[in-house]
């Protein structure tokens, strides 16, 4: 099993990508996880997400997410909430498609006025998918990046809420 | 100028499409609008929405929406909120890209437990885009469709809140 | 008829009170309203709001609100949303107790990270009560007070959405 | 330490009270907790909650909540969200006053259309207070009460997320 990072920014190499990986690092370190770490960068899948046809890369990405114990789900704020890119990907999951998984919402925002989007919009989406979603979510201000202290404080709160079956991260 | 209907269902000919057109009819009748009526069915644009390149049909759709006085924006509930398809389309608009327009959210839901998504998630998205968004939004239960009475009651509440410049709907 | 200002701050003479009156002034000026202007400061009614018994002052306040054409409803952010004081007052209204009235949410916040509470939490409450709620709501940062420019920009957007029957504000 | 149940219904002996105790029973059973179980019924404290003066019973209630490991927080839906009574009580807590505690939101609703209020409004309030809030929250339909099956399914999901220090429930 593995920890998977999902990056919902339409641009490759985005700050969201960097922040998402750093958030995943902070969680993995606290869980003592040294195993596999996959990153699903949705910018590479964008043109296939809304195409009803099958696409091998997209199927792999969905399988990775569904097979993970812990999923760090990151998005920049577009229109004061998560991106359509991310939502289009999560819409491909079946009902309660994240049941039994732990999902951690991470929002990278340009404007602090969008901070509550994590709790008001983003978390309810992951809860609807059946995921266990530790509290609080992470709202990172772009101008605070890399934001090591904010990340560390968040990971200290969240990691102890992640309950893994004994061999889950072996 | 015109009233435009946006349909955020990935399937063509969806019940969302039918409900959206019926909602638009109900509004247009109360406004005495007999002019042009465009429908932007996003199912036809899906593969282009998340493609960063230019696409003529998508540009036409964005121009239609931005040029309209009144926009009926409809979505089915996916994961207890609007679809990624719809969000991906709205993400293509610039900041405050609906300023000066009136936008009416319409959600077609399979489960009545998702009704509050209209006010908690969907309306804030349209407000962030700068639109005037009359109250309340419309949450239609699939099993109630065509829902003529619900539609009429909603249109009676909402239409008087739409303030058009004199020649806006000529 | 009249414009009524409701102040949901437990402390008398609060900054919320000042901001609420200034917001009301800005709206009244744009409506050309020179008539009666009542203020319901809930700090004076606090001990009666959760008392199931009747209380003359509270009944007067509820009647003022229900008889008004336009209600400016103001609260500071407590726990990242409107106060329990304000909610306890609004809970005394019957179902759809603000139908036919226009209500304008005003939130005075210490932290910009609470801004979305206006659209995600406060507006849905007023919509549930049946009010017409023009967009956007007003989220004022304490450190920006008196915030004349923010108030003026908001009132310019909101006032044209208020539709009064001919003699409503006479 | 103890598990505490908070009941935010203005009427004594409410269905909310019954549902809250049943939810607490279901959680306690799964945690193997046989110790102290306090219930804070806010209907008994209502007239003091918005009184700025000190009140012995209220202080005891606040201490119980802050000293608990697990808090089941229950409310009926008033105006499509939690009651002003409950919010007034939680407003008495200091910032992050539930840090280190686990809080479980329980909403008893008359109308299924209010179900999302648990995730969109109620959970964000408890998260703002610093609580660990396992997912999902519980939205119980009045007409389904006592709702033993719904309660059991919910408790099966939520109880494993509650992480107690070794002696926490002794």
pLDDT confidence of residue D1: 58
Q: How far is A69 from chain D (nearest CA, A)?
A: 14
Q: Is the dihedral of CA C15, C4, D77, C56 positive or negative?
A: positive
What confidence category does residue C167 fall into, taking pLDDT thresholds of 50, 70 and 90? very low
Q: Which residues of chain B, if any, have pLDDT below 70?
A: 1, 165-170
Does pLDDT of D164 surpass 80?
no
Please list the residues that pair with A103 across neighbouring strands.
A71
pLDDT confidence of residue A86: 98
Query: What are the φ and ψ backbone dihedral angles of C50, each rounded to 5 degrees?
Result: -105, 10
- The candidate with the shortest Cα–Cα distance to D81, out of C126, A143, C135, is C126
Residues from chain B contacting residue D114 (CB–CB below 8 Å): 115-116
**What's the pTM value of the predicted model, to 2 decimals?**
0.96
The overall average pLDDT reported for chain A is: 94
In chain C, which residue's Cα lies nearest the Cα of B135? C132
**Are residues D88 and D8 in contact, defined by beta-carbon separation less than 8 angstroms?**
no
Does pLDDT of D82 surpass 50?
yes
- The candidate with the shortest Cα–Cα distance to A52, out of B49, B81, B84, B11, is B11
| Cα–Cα distance measured from residue D63 to residue D68, given in angstroms and rounded to the nearest whole number | 8
pLDDT confidence of residue C35: 82
Q: Look-up: residue for tokens 């969109």?
A: D120
The tokens describing D148, both together, are 């033993």
Please list the residues that pair with A75 across neighbouring strands.
A107
Which one is predicted more confidently, C169 or A19? A19
Does pLDDT of A34 surpass 60?
yes
Buried b (16+ CB within 10 A) or exposed e, C97-110: bbeebbbbbbbbbe
In chain B, which residue's Cα lies nearest the Cα of A87? B84
Do residue A85 and residue B90 have CB atoms under 8 angstroms apart?
Answer: no
3-class DSSP assignment, residue C69: coil
Q: Which of D88, D90, D121 to probe the C interface (max C CBs under 10 A)?
A: D88
pLDDT confidence of residue B9: 97
What confidence category does residue D54 fall into, taking pLDDT thresholds of 50, 70 and 90? confident
| Cα–Cα distance measured from residue C139 to residue C85, given in angstroms and rounded to the nearest whole number | 18
- The candidate with the shortest Cα–Cα distance to B89, out of C150, A85, A80, C145, is A85
The tokens describing C114, both together, are 């609470």
**Are residues A133 and A6 in contact, defined by beta-carbon separation less than 8 angstroms?**
no
Domain D3-161: give its CATH code: 3.40.50.360
Neighbours of chain A (3+ CB pairs under 8 A): B, C, D
Q: How far is B122 from chain A (nearest CA, A)?
A: 10
Neighbour-count burial of B140, counting CB atoms closer than 10 A to its CB (0-12 exposed, 13-18 middle, 19+ buried): buried
**Are residues A126 and A89 in contact, defined by beta-carbon separation less than 8 angstroms?**
no
Do residue C81 and residue D46 have CB atoms under 8 angstroms apart?
Answer: no
Helices (H), B14-117: 15-31, 46-49, 56-67, 84-91, 117
Packing angle of the helix pair B84-91, A84-91 (nearest 10 deg): 160
Mean pLDDT across the stretch A77-91? 98
| C-alpha pair distances (Å), D80 with each of A111, C87, D12 | 29, 11, 21
pLDDT confidence of residue D167: 45
Which one is predicted more confidently, B34 or A12? A12
| C-alpha pair distances (Å), A82 with each of A95, A124, A144 | 19, 12, 19
pLDDT confidence of residue C165: 59
Please list the residues that pair with C37 across neighbouring strands.
C3
Does pLDDT of D118 surpass 60?
yes
| Cα–Cα distance measured from residue B36 to residue B169, given in angstroms and rounded to the nearest whole number | 9
Please list the residues that pair with D38 across neighbouring strands.
D4
pLDDT confidence of residue B14: 95
Q: Which of B116, B120, B125 to probe the D interface (max D CBs under 10 A)?
A: B116
């Amino acid at each position: 099993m593995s920890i998977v990072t999902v990056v919902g920014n339409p641009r490759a190499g985005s700050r969201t990508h960097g922040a998402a990986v750093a958030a995943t690092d902070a969680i993995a370190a606290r869980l003592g996880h040294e195993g596999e770490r996959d990153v699903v960068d949705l910018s590479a899948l964008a043109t296939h997400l809304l195409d009803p046809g099958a696409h091998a890369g997209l199927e792999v990405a969905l399988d990775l997410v569904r097979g993970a114990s812990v999923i760090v789900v990151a998005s920049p704020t577009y229109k004061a909430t998560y991106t359509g890119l991310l939502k289009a990907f999560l819409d491909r999951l079946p009902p309660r498609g994240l049941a039994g998984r732990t999902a951690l919402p991470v929002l990278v925002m340009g404007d602090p006025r969008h901070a509550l989007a994590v709790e008001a919009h983003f978390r309810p989406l992951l809860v609807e998918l059946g995921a266990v979603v530790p509290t609080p979510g992470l709202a990172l201000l772009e101008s605070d990046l890399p934001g090591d202290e904010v990340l560390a404080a968040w990971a200290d709160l969240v990691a102890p809420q992640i309950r893994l079956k004994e061999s889950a991260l072996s």
